[in-house]
Structure 1
């Protein structure tokens, strides 16, 4: 954990909730079985099966769900109380750091001040309303290169690339590429002007929310936009083709991975300084920093590259960790299926195998992996068994058939494993999800919506007779409630079953007590949950909905 701010100190409750290598990805076991979510996933899966198969799968799933289950919490009562206090503490902000899997804790005042300064000093305008490849590829390429003792290992970093890309210039580059693309008509019916109009709209209508205000970015590409890496790469390719390749003293190697560049420089350190100055005087907003090898070593991505100084040869490599690295991984006690935790072990092993250029480096990294996983509560015997399984894979596995359906269900120990096993018997591939993480509980940078402003939900509206109308909407709930009120007021009984109920029975609706039963983004799942809620809770009008058997 990283406390930021002069007066920011880690309290006992903070250490209790976020210490012991938990991290914000730590998932809590739920208090109760989320039956509605599981039923919805089962019903969604059954729609992809034949009637006979779906009925059998549904019946056998029901038998699993009907067995009583007491869920054991994976945190103590003291930790739960501390978590509630921390969640309700409005004086602090808890955020994930952008690197190292660390957790940042700030005073709310300091957080708002820093964000306000960033907005004031940066290229942002307040709005009136809400309007590369990777390490394996790098290692593979590195093995093909030889280096001599006079050549320098260098890395360049483009400072804040996304937010400093000149958007208009990049759009001009894209237009030029499209206008000279002889095969464009084979890939799209859009002409160049229409394509550019849509692209410009997507790029220039990005905004973000701070508290209750909205801001638009005035320059550069937006962080988090799926178009930002594509447009940034287009600009940088043009930059490299135009300037880097034409420079009189060209680098021997110039490999860029988004905003990080690995280079071999054969022209001496003085000329390297001239080259850096040249790069930084081309485009006003595009600036490079430089890191030079030390003791014949240079870190790049997650690889430490070492020159083989005994002969003019290629390199030695081993795993590199930045100073900001916390050695925090998914905690073994987190409410995730065991396969996910084994996946953590395998990913660390695979990286060690890939990056380590000799046996000594590899064995050192394996020992390090064991130590850090032990700190994250992994049993050492489990880690050892996982290593053996990776090193001695079984060849007895029969080739699996393509699944007839996929099913994603919440992970509940004692239930989810049984449903997965049942699914295997029907050739259904089952995946697990966890929602109740410390991040979802503690990290809130946007104001919390009032319940009736929420979208994508299943809701209920109580009547004086004791029954509830249950419905679903993708729009804000208060908008949907206004529609119901208008239907009742204007006797539009053909538009609303709720209006029909009011006029047939002369009842009064308690509009102020309308509430959300559950939120659901997916339309199909939302309709299924609406149907299930009507049948489970005795909704007023269970008509015209998907049948839930």
Structure 2
């Protein structure tokens, strides 16, 4: 996505606020007149530190009050996090390509969906806890659709007499997440949780604790774009784990004050269903449908809730809704078929991709299964199958209908779910090797379920959409970046596996870290070990031992190289062991492999 489109969205919607870097003058914070990259970096780092302290303090207080134990307290504490980042996606189904002219303003023609990715953010762990506790609330919302075919099951329960004279219509909430009142949303969620407290799994917490965590998660609405700090002033992040639950409950609060109190809006409550911001129901006329959705919107005290309604112009027209197309005939017959947006790219798992054949078979079979569930008659099933045919042929599947009857070769005795007690994850290399491993496990009746993981993906090879851009370190007098020899890598890289070479003797060291390469974090520590080898607190460190024994009195001359990155701790340590055994670094302490083995056994 082009950055100018994200910039236009941030500047034009009035939802976001740019936060300029500040400095204290006479005890008062004032914006810096000409901020530098370093001042932006310090501002962002300061905000990360502040949010980490807030999250850790809140979680520590909760653990102390509820006596959750030191292990639980430490596990959910946060460190080395990063602020959420924003990007936008074009809503291709709302993009009218025929309206483009030579003087068109694309920023006005393109409707976008703003995503604020909260992966690795300071509030991510608290957000996960809130989601885990509150997810069961969705079972108590009668309008909520658990999956994209639940609405078909509801409509099938109605007789032709009940459907006759009605049309199926759908509606989409306009910008649901950014139009949500945060405090009202939190109150609605907690009130609904209090109503159904007996059905919640609180894991030793109290509802007041969930309230405090939810408030911190939803109000810490800071994010980074183009290495600058912004704050979302209205609504919820689309990308924060508990945001969908909050949005669903908030709209349900409006529904229960209108539809479920005044029954004349619906022939029966079961015909109305909503999947987050997409709702579907039946109505006798467009005016009746509009009155129904306007009645829900009127319950929003802020007046921000709005609907875009799609009502059929004739009884022959199908209305798309959640991967299906639906219409009600004049006789009251329910007709449906599989739907895939015309603007949606015809891309799925390619037949030539480096995945096990079983995975490709299941992908094809599930598409046909979905098409079959979505279709109400043999004729419409055939139409749905043709949509899937085009998709699979476009992705290299030969004769895609064969996968409906395709059978994978099986051998040996199948174990029950209770007997398969261990999951073994292995890299996928070829069908032949995978088959031999699977047959051996079944023949020996080993209690193992094998999962073959795909190999290197394109995202692993092309990790950036702008691969020729070199990041510039914003830390003044950085001691690490000048020593990094890997291209397009600076000291901000997180979760690295690295090699440190001593230029005085060309011996090297291999290590890993969950932190960054920054000079006050992992590589900075190694530099201090080599600079002060006689310090008592460094006496067991490999680089301190090396410089004390081989280069006493000399200043360290080190060179850093990035071997890889991996966020998963176990995999990262396995990769470190792999590099130690294959590269045989002279400086490494041999006890590290023993520690690694002990770590893996405990995991």
Report the TM-score, using the length of structure 2 for normalisation. Answer: 0.63
Structure 1 residues 114, 533: closer, same or farther in 2, change over 3 A?
Answer: farther
Deviations 1:193-241 (A, max 9, x none): 3321111112222443322123232221111111111111111221111
Q: Which residue of 1 aligns with 2:500?
A: 461
Match of 1:375 in 2: 394
Confirm or deny that 1:230 pairs with 2:245.
yes
Paired with 1:145 and 1:213, the residues of 2 have a C-alpha distance of: 54
Conserved in 2, the CA contact under 8 Å of 1:462 and 1:510? no
Partner of 2:434: 417
What are the superposed Cα offsets for residues 408-430 of structure 1, whole Å, 9 maximum, x if unpaired?
Answer: 33433478536744555554513
Quote the offset at 1:525 in angstroms: 2.0
Match of 1:430 in 2: 451
For residues 357 and 197 of structure 2, what CA distance do their matches in structure 1 show? 52
Kept in 1, the 8 Å contact 2:361–2:406? The answer is: no
- Superposed, which structure 2 residues align to 1:95-494 within 5 Å? 132-146=145-159, 147-179=162-194, 183=198, 187-247=202-262, 249-252=264-267, 253-266=271-284, 268-283=285-300, 284-296=303-315, 297-309=318-330, 311=331, 313-380=332-399, 383-389=400-406, 398-401=413-416, 402-413=419-430, 417=434, 420-421=437-438, 426=446, 427-437=448-458, 441=462, 444=465, 450-463=489-502, 464-478=504-518, 479-490=521-532, 491-492=534-535, 493-494=538-539
CA RMSD of aligned residues (A): 4.0
* Structure 1 residues 178 and 138: CA distance shift in structure 2, 3 A: closer
Single out whichever of 333-342 and 234-243 deviates more from structure 2.
333-342
Q: Does the 8 Å contact 2:354/2:454 carry over to 1?
A: no
User: Equivalents in 2 of 1:185, 1:365: separation in Å?
Assistant: 40
Deviations 1:248-300 (A, max 9, x none): 7412331111111111124x443444444444444222111111123323221
Q: Which has the higher contact order (CA 8 A, sep 6+)?
A: 1
> Structure 2: which 5+ runs fail to align?
6-86, 98-105, 124-144, 472-488, 598-603
**Per the alignment, in what secondary structure is the counterpart of residue 235 of structure 2?**
coil
Residue 223 to residue 375, structure 1, CA distance change in 2 (3 Å): same
3-state secondary structure, aligned to 1:453: coil
Give the distance between the partners of 2:363 and 2:470, measured in 1 at CA.
Answer: 33
Number of paired residues? 436
Tell me the CA shift for residue 475 of structure 1: 0.7
1:521 aligns to 2:567 (yes or no): yes
- For residue 591 of structure 2, what is the aligned residue in structure 1? 544
2-structure distance, mates of 1:148, 1:181: 34
CA contact (8 A) 2:168 2:319 kept: yes
* d(CA) in 2 for partners of 1:272, 1:371: 35
Partners of 1:363 and 1:337 lie apart in 2 by 28
Seen in structure 2, the aligned counterparts of structure 1 residues 452 and 219 have a Cα distance that, compared at 3 Å, is same
CA shift in 2, pair 1:430/1:167, >3 Å: same
Alpha-carbon separation, structure 1, partners of 2:493 and 2:325: 48
SS in structure 1 of the partner of residue 576 of structure 2: helix
Equivalent position SS for 1:331: coil
For 2:221 and 2:529, locate their aligned partners in 1 and report how far apart those are by CA, in whole Å: 37
Q: TM-score, normalised by structure 1?
A: 0.69
Do 1:331 and 1:376's aligned partners in 2 also have CA atoms closer than 8 Å? yes
Whole-angstrom distance in 2 between the partners of 1:387 and 1:118: 38
Secondary structure (helix, strand or coil) at the match of 1:477 reads: coil
> In 2, Cα distance between the equivalents of 1:537 and 1:291?
63
Question: Quick one: which of 549, 564, 570 aligns to 1:504?
Answer: 549
Gaps of 5+ in 1: 6-93, 105-112
Judged with a 3 Å threshold, the aligned counterparts in structure 2 of structure 1 residues 143 and 394 are, in CA distance, closer, same or farther, namely farther
Question: Does the aligned pair in 1 maintain the 2:91–2:111 contact within 8 Å?
Answer: no
Any conservation in 2 of the 1:329–1:376 contact (CA below 8 Å)?
Answer: yes
